C-alpha cells in the first residue's frame, strides 16, 4: 500500500490494524558517466513499493536527497548536511508515530546515509518513540552479488548498473560502459589507506569519473535476479519486525 495514493479514511483503516511502515531513502548524485543521478532513489523506491505490494505494509513517499557531499565535485549532485538529514528523518518518523506507526524500515540504497539512519534509529530507540532500522539492499544478498559479478564495486559498479538496467533501462547509457570502466577505479584499491588511516574524504580523490568496479558484465537479467532476491529479503524482514512485541524492541531498563 502506497501512502500517497490512499485517501485519509482508507489510511485510517490501515492504522487501526497495522503499525509498520517502509520509508524509501536514496540520493541524487553522480553515478558515473553511464548511470542517472537518481540511481539510488530509483532503487530504494522500487524495492519499497515491491515489498509493500507483496506484504501489504505501508510505503511512504521517497526521500530523494541524502547525505552526499563526498560526490559534490561532480555536476548535479545534491545533498543535505548530515545534522539536517538526521533531524529531518527523525521528524518524519515522529510524524508517522502520531498516526500509530511504531516500527519503521528505512529502505536505503545510498551508503552515505547508513551511519545517519542508524543514528536516527538510535535516538528513536532510546526515547522509546519508535523502532526504526536501516536496511541496505545489497547487504541483504551479498552471496548473490559476488556470484553474479567478477569485479564488484560500491558505486556505479555492476550491481547498481544491473539494477537500473532492470528498473529503468532507458536511463542507462550502455554505450559508455567502456568509458566508465577505463576512467573508474577497481575495488578495493590499495590507495585509500595509509598506515591504518583512511586518507580520503571525497569520491573524486579515488576515481576521476566517480565509478568503482566493472559494470561491463551487468545485464538487465542479472538486475532482475538482484531485485527479486532483495525484495524477498525485505519482505521477510518486515514480517519478522511486525511479529515482534514493541516492548521487546525498545531500550531495556538500567540493570
Dump pLDDT digits (tens) for 150-168: 888 889 999 999 999 999 9
pLDDT for the residue numbered 35:
98
Cβ atoms < 10 Å from Cβ of 201: 9
pLDDT of the chain along its 255 residues, tens only? 999 999 999 999 999 999 999 999 999 999 999 999 999 999 999 999 999 999 999 999 999 999 999 999 999 999 999 999 999 999 999 999 999 999 999 999 999 999 999 999 999 999 999 999 999 999 999 999 999 998 888 899 999 999 999 999 999 999 999 999 999 987 666 678 888 898 889 999 999 999 999 999 999 999 999 999 999 999 999 999 999 999 999 999 999
Q: How far apart are CA 5 and CA 3, in angstroms?
A: 5
Q: How far apart are CA 136 and CA 107, in angstroms?
A: 7
pLDDT for the residue numbered 194:
85
Which CATH number does the domain 3-247 belong to among 3.20.20.450, 2.60.40.10, 3.40.50.10310, 3.40.50.300? 3.40.50.10310
Q: How far apart are CA 88 and CA 109, in angstroms?
A: 18
List the alpha helices (DSSP H) in the chain: 8-17, 39-55, 82-98, 114-127, 142-148, 158-168, 177-183, 220-243, 246-249
Cβ atoms < 10 Å from Cβ of 108: 29
Burial of residue 196, with CB atoms counted within 10 A of its CB: 0-12 exposed, 13-18 middle, 19 or more buried: exposed
pLDDT for the residue numbered 140:
98
When the pLDDT of each residue in the chain is averaged and rounded to a whole number, the result is 96
pLDDT for the residue numbered 73:
98
β-bridge mates for residue 104, sequence order: 21, 132
Cβ atoms < 10 Å from Cβ of 146: 11
Grid cell at residue 48 = 519499497
Q: What are the residue ranges spanned by the domains of the chain?
A: 3-247
| Ramachandran class of 128: left when φ > 0, alpha when ψ lies in -120 to 50, beta otherwise | left
Amino acid at each position: 500500500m502506497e501512502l500517497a495514493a490512499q485517501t485519509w479514511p482508507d489510511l485510517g483503516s490501515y492504522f487501526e490494524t497495522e503499525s509498520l511502515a517502509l520509508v524509501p531513502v536514496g540520493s541524487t548524485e553522480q553515478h558515473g558517466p553511464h548511470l542517472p543521478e537518481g540511481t539510488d532513489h530509483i532503487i530504494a523506491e522500487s524495492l519499497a513499493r515491491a515489498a509493500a505490494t507483496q506484504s501489504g505494509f505501508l510505503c511512504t513517499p521517497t526521500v530523494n536527497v541524502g547525505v552526499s557531499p563526498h560526490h559534490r565535485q561532480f555536476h548535479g549532485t545534491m545533498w543535505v548536511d548530515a545534522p539536517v538529514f538526521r533531524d529531518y528523518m527523525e521528524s518524519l518518523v515522529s510524524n508517522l508515530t502520531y498516526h500509530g506507526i511504531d516500527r519503521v524500515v528505512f529502505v536505503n540504497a545510498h551508503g552515505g546515509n547508513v551511519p545517519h539512519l542508524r543514528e536516527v534509529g538510535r535516538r528513536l530507540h532510546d526515547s522509546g518513540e519508535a523502532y526504526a532500522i536501516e536496511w541496505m539492499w545489497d547487504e541483504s544478498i551479498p552471496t548473490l552479488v559476488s556470484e553474479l559479478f567478477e569485479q564488484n564495486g560500491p558505486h556505479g559498479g555492476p550491481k547498481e548498473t544491473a539494477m537500473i538496467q532492470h528498473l529503468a533501462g532507458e536511463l542507462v547509457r550502455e554505450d559508455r560502459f567502456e568509458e566508465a570502466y577505463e576512467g573508474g577505479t577497481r575495488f578495493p584499491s590499495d590507495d585509500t589507506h595509509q598506515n591504518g588511516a583512511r586518507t580520503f574524504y571525497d569520491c573524486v580523490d579515488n576515481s576521476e569519473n566517480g565509478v568503482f568496479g566493472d559494470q561491463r558484465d551487468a545485464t538487465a537479467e542479472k538486475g532482475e535476479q538482484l531485485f527479486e532476491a532483495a525484495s524477498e529479503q525485505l519482505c521477510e524482514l518486515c514480517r519478522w519486525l511486525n511479529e515482534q512485541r514493541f516492548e521487546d524492541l525498545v531500550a531495556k531498563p538500567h540493570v
